[in-house]
């Protein structure tokens, strides 16, 4: 009985030491990784591949760019939504919508304000993506509304240029609006790169094992 208690005491001591070592090792490792990542993040952004664009058979622009892969330890610096426990992917892109040469028909319209009646030219335009309406009164054009619609299809995955080439993680952005073009894309992928001793299951397992011997 005495030997069993002695064994339990040694086991508890060993487990506690292992937990402390694991936590210290994790803290030092995280600090080192974060320092290295911060020093290289500007280089990653600078060396990131240029934006490539092309038009598909339906006249929609598709933009592609290589994804920047950074360690999960920098996740908090990229995360903007506090409701997220862990951020895995972030995509930031800029678009420009331009509709060239729009012809509209002017329609004679009478506007009654109090006891006065005014004749103006009214117009409407809607091509499914860009819509506006308004009126022309003497030398003044007034837009009553201007609506620009868009829809995006975003895909991220791995691809290679040829069969045995190294895979690269790419992001594709397709503008459904044929009048919209993508001007810039910056995307990040943060893999779960924790070491085995950093996994929550290992920490909880060690803690549970320690409690088991303590309660015995």
* pLDDT of 1 higher than 50: no
Q: What's the token pair of residue 160? A: 């290679």
What is the reported pLDDT for 143? 85
What is the reported pLDDT for 141? 83
Q: What is the pLDDT of residues 18-72, one digit of tens each?
A: 666 666 566 556 566 666 556 556 666 666 678 999 999 988 999 999 998 888 8
What is the reported pLDDT for 26? 61
pTM flag (> 0.85)? no
- pLDDT tier at 110, thresholds 50, 70, 90: low
What is the reported pLDDT for 149? 93
DSSP state of 95: E
Query: Cα torsion at 29, 46, 80, 64 (round to 10°)?
Result: -120
Q: What is the pLDDT of residues 121-149, one digit of tens each?
A: 888 899 999 999 988 887 788 888 889 99
User: Which residue, among 70, 77, 72, has the nearest Cα to 41 in the 3D structure?
Assistant: 70
DSSP of 156-196: EEEE-SSTTSPPEEEEEEEESSTTEEEEEEEEEE------G
Q: Cα–Cα distance between 196 and 201 in angstroms, integer? A: 9
The 3-class SS string of 115-158 reads CEEEEEEEEEEECCCEEEEEEEECCEEEEEEEEECCCEEEEEEE
Number of H helices, E strands in the chain: 3, 11
* pLDDT of 93 higher than 80: yes
What is the reported pLDDT for 96? 94
Q: What is the pLDDT of residues 168-210, one digit of tens each?
A: 899 999 999 999 999 999 999 988 765 555 555 555 555 555 5
Do residues 171 and 91 lie in contact, with contact meaning Cβ atoms separated by under 8 Å?
yes
Do residues 170 and 50 lie in contact, with contact meaning Cβ atoms separated by under 8 Å?
no
Beta-sheet strand order (sheet of 168-175):
52-55, 61-66, 168-175, 152-159
* pLDDT of 17 higher than 90: no
Tell me the Ramachandran region of residue 73: left when phi exceeds 0, alpha when psi lies from -120 to 50, beta otherwise. Answer: alpha
Query: Cα torsion at 158, 160, 161, 165 (round to 10°)?
Result: 160
What is the reported pLDDT for 4? 47
* Crossing angle of the two packed helices 200-215 and 2-47, in degrees rounded to 10: 170
What average pLDDT does this structure show over 65-80? 84
């Amino acid at each position: 009985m005495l030997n069993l208690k002695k064994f339990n005491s040694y086991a508890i001591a060993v487990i506690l030491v292992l937990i402390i070592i694991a936590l210290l090792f994790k803290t030092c490792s995280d600090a080192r990784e974060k320092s290295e990542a911060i020093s290289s993040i500007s280089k990653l952004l600078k060396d990131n591949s240029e934006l490539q664009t092309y038009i598909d058979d339906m006249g929609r622009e598709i933009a592609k760019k290589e994804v920047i892969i950074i360690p999960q330890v920098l996740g908090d610096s990229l995360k903007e939504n506090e409701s997220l426990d862990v951020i895995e992917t972030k995509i930031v892109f800029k678009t420009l919508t331009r509709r060239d040469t729009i012809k509209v028909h002017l329609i004679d319209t009478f506007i009654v304000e109090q006891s006065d009646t005014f004749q103006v030219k009214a117009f409407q335009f809607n091509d499914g993506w860009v819509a506006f309406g308004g009126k022309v009164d003497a030398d003044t054009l007034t837009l009553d509304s201007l609506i620009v619609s868009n829809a995006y299809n975003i895909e991220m995955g791995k691809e290679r240029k040829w069969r045995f080439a190294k895979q690269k993680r790419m992001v594709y952005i397709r503008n459904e609006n044929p009048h919209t073009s993508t001007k810039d894309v910056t995307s990040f992928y943060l893999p779960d790169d924790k070491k085995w001793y950093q996994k929550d299951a290992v920490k909880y397992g060690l803690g549970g094992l320690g409690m088991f011997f303590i309660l015995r």
